[in-house]
């Protein structure tokens, strides 16, 4: 898989994304219902993420996990466990969980999809519809908490995995709550794409 790694700055110890989501997007006009139409060109990683999230392209999960294992994980100190970001919307199968589980199989690392608990929104807002980082931070405030799901004693470096890095609000909120968990040492982030 062709990647163009980008370092992600934030409250975590280090982080990277595999590639930009879109290589270009051209406005085509409005359809009969008045909705804007675009000719979107995605990177190879972006197309795999799109197929995985919106077209049930579950076969893309393994290739995305392999790309993270090959291009991102070697940049970090020893990772002890993988934590997928909690989902923004309910689905029968969660794309980030699928990639995390495939990554766990490739690396032999345990995956803890239940460490970060995300409470429902009280405002009904979705992050992708909020315009500013401040609005996104406010929407996430107090909604993430820790579930002490690690039975072993000790602490480990965590790989926090997400599909799309935009403003960084979700990653920052998740990083902050993971910092409160005594069983987590360093926090390293991997995003499949950036906006």
What domain count does the chain have?
A: 1
Tell me what percent of the chain is helix, strand and coil, each rounded to the nearest 5: 30, 30, 40
Residue 6 has a pLDDT of: 98
Please say if the pLDDT value at position 89 is more than 80.
no
Residue 143 has a pLDDT of: 86
Domain span including residue 56: 6-194
Could you tell me if residue 51 is inside a domain? yes
Residue 123 has a pLDDT of: 78
Cα 129 to Cα 136: distance, rounded to the nearest angstrom: 9
For residue 21, give both structure tokens: 């989501």
Please say if the pLDDT value at position 83 is more than 80.
yes
Cβ contact 156:80 at 8 Å: yes
pLDDT, mean of residues 100-119: 95
Could you tell me if residue 61 is inside a domain? yes
Could you tell me if residue 171 is inside a domain? yes
CATH for 95: 3.40.50
Could you tell me if residue 140 is inside a domain? yes
Could you tell me if residue 1 is inside a domain? no
**Residues 155-187: pLDDT tens digits?**
999 999 999 999 888 999 999 999 999 999 999
How are beta strands 14-20 and 184-194 bridged, if at all? Answer: parallel
């Amino acid at each position: 898989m062709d990647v163009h790694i980008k370092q992600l700055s934030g409250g975590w110890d280090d982080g990277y994304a595999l590639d930009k989501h879109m290589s270009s997007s051209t406005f085509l006009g409005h359809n009969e219902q008045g909705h804007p139409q675009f000719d979107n060109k995605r990177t190879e990683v972006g197309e795999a993420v799109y197929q995985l999230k919106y077209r049930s392209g579950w076969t893309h999960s393994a290739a995305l996990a392999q790309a993270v294992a090959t291009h991102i994980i070697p940049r970090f100190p020893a990772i002890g466990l993988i934590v997928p970001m909690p989902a923004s919307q309910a689905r029968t199968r969660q794309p980030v969980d699928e990639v995390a589980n495939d990554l766990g199989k490739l690396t032999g690392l345990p995956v803890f999809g239940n460490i970060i608990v995300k409470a429902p929104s009280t405002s009904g807002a979705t992050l992708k519809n909020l315009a500013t980082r401040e609005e996104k931070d406010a929407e996430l405030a107090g909604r993430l908490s820790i579930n002490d799901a690690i039975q072993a004693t000790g602490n480990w470096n965590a790989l926090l995995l997400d599909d799309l890095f935009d403003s960084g609000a979700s990653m920052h909120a998740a990083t902050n709550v993971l910092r409160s968990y005594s069983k987590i040492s360093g926090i390293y982030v991997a995003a499949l794409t950036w906006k």
